[in-house]
């Protein structure tokens, strides 16, 4: 039973990762997710199922279209790999097969896998277009609400929602007052509020601190190495998402350790 759950989860990770590539490309362009089926952007040749196997096809075809030889971006297999690694992380957290000594928590396993996939899509969309599609925010909200069904500390998650959204809302308002321009998009405010529903109060505060630190480090590096980097807009959700995933996985240990110091 154990090995069966692991294999199913990882195969789903690959397949959903492949679907995420479609979502990340088409959703911001307002295109249908169902049609047309996958095709080469250059020769428009339909991509057969045997050439559409996640990661494997990319390796076999050496990253090129079978028909016209056009290079295929390595981001496609990378998104599939990232999604599968996130599902592996969920397996580690919510099943006893790998690390955890508690029983299998199917609800947490499924909701965190779906949440990780949605967050990965948000990360990529923000990186590409500096915008988070509302469909992805709504999907994440629904998953978050399902994930708090029947948990004993639901109020903590609601505090996470209020503090996560509230902090960024106040920050963006103050930034606008002082600098007279938008420092933080409303998409980031909504995202942090919804992530608070997964993270709870402690995890939310930790995510805010880590994502501000991470963005400060990366932006300093950009400013040092690239002229004109300072005034550029930057996709803040790309900092929030990895920090939130880290805190969903390890935040409770860090918060417990911190509180034990007092």
Kindly report the backbone phi and psi dihedral angles of residue 71, in degrees, each rounded to the nearest multiple of 5, phi listed first.
Answer: -65, 135
Cβ proximity to Zn ion: between 72 and 113 the closer is: 72
Q: Determine if 67 is a binding residue for Zn ion (CB under 5 A).
A: yes
Does 65 engage in binding with Zn ion (CB under 5 A)? Answer: yes
The values of phi and psi at residue 242, to 5°, are: -65, -35
CB nearer Zn ion, residue 42 or residue 226:
42
User: Of the candidates 43, 60, 138, 151, which one interacts with Zn ion according to CB under 5 A?
Assistant: 43
- Minimal distance, residue 41 CB to Zn ion, in Å: 8
Task: Tell me if 48 contacts Zn ion by CB under 5 A.
Answer: no
> Binding segment for Zn ion among 63-71, 125-133, 163-171, 221-229 (CB under 5 A)?
63-71
Is residue 243 within the footprint of Zn ion (CB under 5 A)? no
For the CB of residue 58, give the shortest distance to Zn ion in the complex, in Å.
14
Angle at 175 between CA 169 and CA 178, to 5 degrees: 145
Q: Which stretch binds Zn ion (CB under 5 A): 13-21, 32-40, 121-129, 160-168?
A: 32-40
Segment lying near Zn ion (by CB under 5 A), choices 19-27, 64-72, 192-200, 226-234:
64-72
Q: Is 40 in the site for Zn ion (CB under 5 A)?
A: yes
CB of 42 to Zn ion, least distance (A): 5
Of the candidate spans 8-16, 40-48, 128-136, 245-253, the one that interacts with Zn ion by CB under 5 A turns out to be 40-48
Nearer to Zn ion by Cβ, of 71 and 232: the residue is: 71
Stretch that binds Zn ion, among 15-23, 57-65, 158-166, 185-193 (CB under 5 A): 57-65
Task: Kindly tell me which of 51 and 126 has the beta carbon lying closer to Zn ion.
Answer: 51
Q: How far apart are CA 149 and CA 50, in angstroms?
A: 40
- Provide long-range contacts, Cβ within 8 A and 24+ apart, for 167-172: 167/192, 167/208, 168/192, 168/193, 168/208
Q: Which of 7, 60, 68, 216 binds Zn ion (CB under 5 A)?
A: 68
Within 10 angstroms of residue 231's Cβ, the number of other Cβ atoms is 7
Tokens matching residue 28: 């911001």
Least Å distance between CB 66 and Zn ion?
7
Contact footprint for Zn ion (CB under 5 A): 40, 42-43, 65, 67-68, 70
């Amino acid at each position: 039973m154990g090995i069966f759950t692991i294999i199913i989860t990882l195969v789903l990770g690959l397949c959903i990762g492949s679907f995420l590539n479609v979502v990340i490309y088409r959703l911001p362009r307002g295109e249908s997710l169902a049609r047309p089926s996958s095709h080469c952007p250059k020769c428009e040749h339909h991509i057969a199922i045997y050439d559409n196997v996640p990661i494997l096809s990319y390796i076999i075809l050496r990253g090129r279209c079978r028909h016209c030889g056009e290079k295929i971006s390595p981001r496609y297999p990378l998104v599939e790999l990232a999604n599968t690694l996130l599902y592996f992380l969920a397996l580690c957290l919510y099943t006893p097969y790998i690390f955890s000594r508690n029983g299998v928590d199917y609800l947490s396993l499924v909701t965190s896998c779906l949440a990780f996939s949605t967050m990965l899509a948000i990360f990529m969309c923000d990186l590409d277009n500096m915008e988070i599609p509302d469909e992805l925010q709504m999907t994440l909200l629904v998953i978050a609400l399902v994930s708090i069904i029947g948990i004993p500390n639901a109020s903590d998650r609601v505090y996470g929602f209020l503090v996560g959204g509230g902090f960024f809302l106040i920050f963006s308002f103050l930034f606008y007052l002082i600098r007279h321009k938008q420092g933080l998009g409303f998409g980031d405010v909504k995202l942090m509020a919804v992530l608070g529903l997964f993270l709870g109060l402690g995890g939310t505060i930790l995510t805010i601190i880590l994502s501000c630190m991470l963005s400060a480090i990366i932006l300093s590096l950009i400013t040092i190495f690239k002229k004109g980097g300072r005034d550029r807009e930057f996709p803040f959700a790309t900092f929030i998402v990895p920090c939130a995933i880290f805190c969903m996985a390890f935040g409770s240990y860090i918060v417990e350790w911190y509180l034990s110091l007092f």
